[in-house]
Amino acid sequence: MSAQPIGVAVVGAGYWGRNLVRTFANHRAFDLKVVCDVREGAADEMAGLRCRATTSLDDVLGDPDVQAVALATPPDTHEPIGLAVLQSGRHLLVEKPMATSLAGGLRMAATASAAGRVLMCDHTYCYSPAVAQIRDLIASGSLGEILFVDSVRINLGLIQSTADVFWDLAPHDLAILDFVLPAASRPASVSATGSDPLGVGVDCVGYLTMRLTSGSLAHAHLNWLSPTKIRRFIVGGDRRMVVWDDLDPSQRLTIYDKGIDSVRSGDDHRLKVSYRVGGLESPALPMMEPLVLAADEFAAAIREGRPAATDAESGLRVLAGLEAIRRSLAAGGTSQGIEVPA
């Protein structure tokens, strides 16, 4: 393992690219070498961070000091740029979704494997301390059998013309489900319903119902038209339940000792239910920015020569979910299987 900083370039200086630039410029494991954006002058202001700016990807890939690239360009460019990065022998951190098709993602994964390079998906929410805690609670059995998962991810805007609300917001929920649930309980199928009430040409409101491999259900509400912003994720177990409210800094995670202890049918054949109402706790969480923790993982994966926690395989499972959503919408909301080709 080398203690030398990893030379990194950020390609794409838009909203998320700026966050990546800030993170890598201040991260001790990395040395930010260059920021690239095809828009003339878009990357110039980054020069104040002691790195150079360019409009040419060839310039980035011709720089021997660049060992890794963080890619935050529009999704339809992820595959061609990502393939060029990997084929040049660089490691790649790519913004969600990994590609705009499962076939494209498979090509990227195969290229990374052949080149022996790290391909990490920037599923940033998976590096949130709250999500890590939820994963630990599920893995330890503390919540018991998972009965349901419910997610609300709504806000006002940003309406896009190149992607619908599903491809914009659902990657977050698909990635979180993939991260926190054991392999035997991940989404196996999905039914999607969307609407375009503004007539902008893409769905702005969407609902997902996912059947988990375990038989339980996960549900997601996605909306660009809500007057309020809500980021809430609920996991219900038969022992305890947990609520993650990402917009509540004082109580992001709450664990409820509530549930149903028994369900049985008596002699009169009526359903009898025993409810348990206990206390609640809000565990203290580390005050760490998820993107910084994602950069930590990217550096560790490169130095240790191992897959990242959100590796190409997790990216492919998210793409498989997105393609199943696309098929379901085309089929009038009927359930579609989620499968990644071997």
The residue-averaged pLDDT of 14-28 equals 95
pLDDT at 313 over 70: yes
Distance of alpha carbon 233 from the chain centroid: 14
- Segment holding 292, helix H or strand E: helix 290-304
pLDDT at 7 over 80: yes
Q: Which two tokens stand for residue 219?
A: 């549900």
Give the mean pLDDT of the chain. 94
Domains and CATH numbers, the chain: 6-123+294-308 (3.40.50.720), 126-290+320-337 (3.30.360.10)
The residue-averaged pLDDT of 3-8 equals 94
From CA 118, how far away is CA 86, in angstroms rounded? 9
**What pLDDT sits at residue 269?**
66
**What pLDDT sits at residue 47?**
62
From CA 41, how far away is CA 274, in angstroms rounded? 65
Which residue type is seen at 80? Answer: P
Provide CB contacts within 8 A for 150, sequence distance 6+: 218, 219, 220, 233, 234, 236
Residue 217's Cβ-count burial label (10 Å; 0-12, 13-18, 19+) is middle
From CA 85, how far away is CA 99, in angstroms rounded? 14
**pLDDT tens per residue across span 74-99:** 999 999 999 999 999 999 999 999 99
What single string gives the DSSP state of each residue in 79-124? HHHHHHHHHTT-EEEEESSS-SSHHHHHHHHHHHHHHT--EEEE-G
Q: Which two tokens stand for residue 270?
A: 């009526």
Q: What is the rounded end-to-end Cα distance, in angstroms, of the chain?
A: 32
Q: Which residue has the higher pLDDT, 160 or 283?
A: 283
From CA 338, how far away is CA 316, in angstroms rounded? 11
**What pLDDT sits at residue 1?**
44
Instruction: Give residue for tokens 């028994």.
Output: 262
From CA 74, how far away is CA 202, in angstroms rounded? 17
pLDDT band per the 50, 70, 90 thresholds, residue 270: confident
Strand 68-71, strand 6-11: pairing: parallel
Nearest to 57 by CA among 75, 76, 31, 77: 77
